[in-house]
């Protein structure tokens, strides 16, 4: 099963930008900070100047010399040659938070999107935080009720960028009580893995489909492959969701998970052939 053809670092949001900067420091370790170009894509946010200032400051403080901003506010911008050329030069593309539907609705079907896919073929790193995390998968969550028991048909989903397959990602996970909506997403799509990522926590997924946890929180992997029953397709869509035989793994710092085999495992050193 093809899970990830790309190197991905997916952050649950609210990553530390002031103190140890563990996750952002880890991100910067994956590129040549003197020579490689790190492109910050602010398309998800309606406040791109604030995002630009924030991430230019933090990545500069971590030693990255070539930081470029992909400032796209509408579909017309996604056709501009100078923006496409930014993607061509990128060793890493960082998607900020905001609204994940802005990313897909503005970039989908444009030369920028085509170049993003091509960037993956040359082993560019893709990084996303918050909305930029959700958009990584082929199907993404765009809405649902927080801090409530799961209900049958209250989850809203849409196509994502498709940089990772057969998973669905939710962010700000325990902080916003999103277990119910992730369970609802898996009930509707039991063939996929649901991955919930806490704030100031990230997963690094390599091209072999091996996931490793970074940061201070937890990562929750919900596996509905062996689910024996759910009432998700029955009438009365506002009823509480019922599911049998659903498996959940809770992973913390340095824990690893094989997304292809759907099993956690322990290994001191994960091989990263694409480390720069």
DSSP string across 139-182 = EEEEE--SSS--BTT--EEEE---SB-SEEEE-STTTTT-HHHH
Question: Please, where are the H alpha helices in 90-134?
Answer: 100-107, 111-121, 131-134
d(CA 145, CA 180): 8
d(CA 92, CA 110): 20
Of 36, 61, 45, 58, nearest to 96 (Cα)?
45
Please calculate the CA angle 37-39-41 and round it to the nearest 5 degrees: 175
Coil/strand/helix, residue 77? helix
Are residues 219 and 201 in contact, defined by beta-carbon separation less than 8 angstroms? yes
Return the number of other C-beta atoms located less than 10 Å from residue 230's C-beta.
Answer: 22
Tokens of 33: 């900070």
DSSP label at 52?
Answer: H
Residues designated as active site: 130, 172, 199
Tokens of 263: 């099993």
Give me the residue label for tokens 């990562």.
219
């Amino acid at each position: 099963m093809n899970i990830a053809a790309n190197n991905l670092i997916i952050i649950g949001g609210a990553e530390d930008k002031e103190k140890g900067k563990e996750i952002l420091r880890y991100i910067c370790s994956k590129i040549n900070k003197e020579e490689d170009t790190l492109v910050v894509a602010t398309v998800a946010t309606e406040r791109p100047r604030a995002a630009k200032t924030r991430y230019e400051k933090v990545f500069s403080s971590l030693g990255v010399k070539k930081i470029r901003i992909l400032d796209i506010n509408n579909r017309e911008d996604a056709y501009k040659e100078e923006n496409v050329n930014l993607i061509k030069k990128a060793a890493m593309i960082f998607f900020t938070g905001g609204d994940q539907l802005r990313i897909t609705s503005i970039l989908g079907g444009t030369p920028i999107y085509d170049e993003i896919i091509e960037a993956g073929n040359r082993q560019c790193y893709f990084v996303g935080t918050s909305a930029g995390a959700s958009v990584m998968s082929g199907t993404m969550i765009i809405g649902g009720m927080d801090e409530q028991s799961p209900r049958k048909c209250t989850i809203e989903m849409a196509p994502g960028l498709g940089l990772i397959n057969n998973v669905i990602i939710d962010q700000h996970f325990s902080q916003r009580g999103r277990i119910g909506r992730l369970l609802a997403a898996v009930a509707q799509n039991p063939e996929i893995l649901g991955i919930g990522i806490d704030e100031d926590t990230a997963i690094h997924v390599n091209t072999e489909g091996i996931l490793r946890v970074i940061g201070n929180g937890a990562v929750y992997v919900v596996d509905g492959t062996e689910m024996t029953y759910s009432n998700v397709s029955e009438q009365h869509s506002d009823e509480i969701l019922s599911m049998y035989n659903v498996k959940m793994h809770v992973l913390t710092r340095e824990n690893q998970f094989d997304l292809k085999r759907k099993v956690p495992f322990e290994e001191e050193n994960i091989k990263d052939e694409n480390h720069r």
